[in-house]
Amino acid sequence: MGVHVSEATTQNQLRNPLCRKRRLIYCSFSLVVVLTMSSMVVVTLLLLGVIPAGHGEQEGCDGDILKELDALDDMLQVSTAAPVLSLDEQKLEHKPKKLTQSKLREIAALTDIDRFMGPERLDPILKERVPGTPGNAEVRQYIVSSLQGLQSWDIEENRFSEWTPHTRANTEFVNIIATLRNANAQPESDLKLVLACHYDSKYYPGHTFVGATDSAVPCAMLLDLAHNLKASLDAKTYMPYTLQLIFFDGEEAFIRWTSTDSIYGSRHLAQRWADLPHHSVNNKKIIDGIGLFVLLDLLGAPSPKFNNFFSGNPQSDRMYKHLQNIERRLAQNNELISYSNDGPYFNGATYRGMIEDDHKPFLNRGVDVVHVIASPFPPVWHQPNDNKSNLNRNTISNLNKIFHVFVVEFLHLKPPE
């Protein structure tokens, strides 16, 4: 994570889309049809005794019936919304699907902090990984091979070279982009939920700097999520969105944080995606298909606090508050470890400035962002002791649970059997 903090206010690209007459006509007609059909189905099932009256959270319903109804619900949302809503309208109208208490427990139980802290997740990333060095290449190879083993992801290595001040020559950078394929040969989704972090470590001559919080732990969190939710992700039926994981190279400044010596990978990728056309929507670019960009940085130290940096943006504010809601529900379910002393991580505090990080090139192009970064920064920030011994297992476990639930609810996933 870089140094620079800008005090400029960030009231940019606020969207207030107006409903057009055509959209009102289409949506009203579709709603009438769907409500009529749905009511007939529900009444019939009630009369037959398939759906017991007062079934509450659906805990008592037959599992197969619930799966079919959930799938029907997802298909109805696609069939009624996709043909008449623009990308921006789909983003704002998308609603996460909240889990019941029992399903919340099931997702929380998928996390295993011992596995996370060991050779299957974190350990292979805890090494010096300055761009253009063998350590950087080794970590990149580990991330790619870990995701390739899941056989559900299309993986791209976005390579480019740029002049850097520490070598006074070109340095190669490689962004890793992993996109979840839709099941059953379904076409690519129009929108993507992006979870991102950076995998490079700071150039620190004379010191061994492995950047555990900055950002080995966030990298391991994304891999852990992909592995733990494999069954649910592979069975995804909600088509408007898919999941995309981005591991940026070159976030750290080599000499001093400036507009040219920092966030090399994200600057390059945001510009590239702003130039390339969207795969299915005319007059749109790839970057327009990012429904939400969630950036993880400086995670793993005890008692982090995450501010609501973009409370003025309706989509960013809504999704930050959903993370707050997930944290609160997990705490009420006693799923968070040693939590009462820490207080809420997502504390709701607003912030009128901006911490410069890999989200900035995307934010500047109109992408909705949730920036999950400890503020204030951890005491070990950019210090040689930002290593494994100073990580907090309970905090990492709690955050993993929050992020797992967020992805499941955002993408309308079903917990694995």
Question: Which one-letter DSSP state was computed for residue 56?
Answer: T
65-68, long-range: CB < 8 A, 24+ apart? 67/414
Q: Are 106 and 201 in contact (CB under 8 A)?
A: no
- Determine the residue type at 404: H
Please report the DSSP string for 278-311 in residue order: PSSSTT-BGGGGEEEEEEEES-SSSS--EEETTT
Determine contact, residues 386/214, Cβ cutoff 8 Å: yes
CB atoms under 10 Å from CB of 388, counted, come to: 14
Rounded distance, CA 135 to CA 188, Å?
Answer: 34
Q: Is 251 a catalytic residue?
A: yes
Residue count of the chain, please give it. Answer: 417
- Among residues 190, 251, 261, 409, the one annotated as catalytic is 251
**CB-based burial of residue 6 (10 Å sphere; 0-12 exposed, 13-18 middle, 19+ buried)?**
exposed
Q: What is the β-pairing status of strands 290-297 and 191-198?
A: parallel
Active-site annotation holds for 409: no
Q: Where is 90: in which H helix or E strand?
A: helix 87-93
Q: In whole angstroms, give the CA distance from residue 128 to residue 200.
A: 8
Q: How far apart are CA 217 and CA 227, in angstroms?
A: 15
DSSP 277: B
Q: Would you say 197 and 176 are in contact if contact means Cβ atoms under 8 Å apart?
A: no
Selecting among 200, 214, 288, 297, the annotated active-site residue is 297
Residue ranges of E strands in 141-217 = 153-164, 169-180, 191-198
Who's near 415: CB < 8 A, 6+ residues apart? 99, 103, 106, 107, 232, 408
Name the β-bridge partners of 21. Answer: none
Active site residues: 251, 297
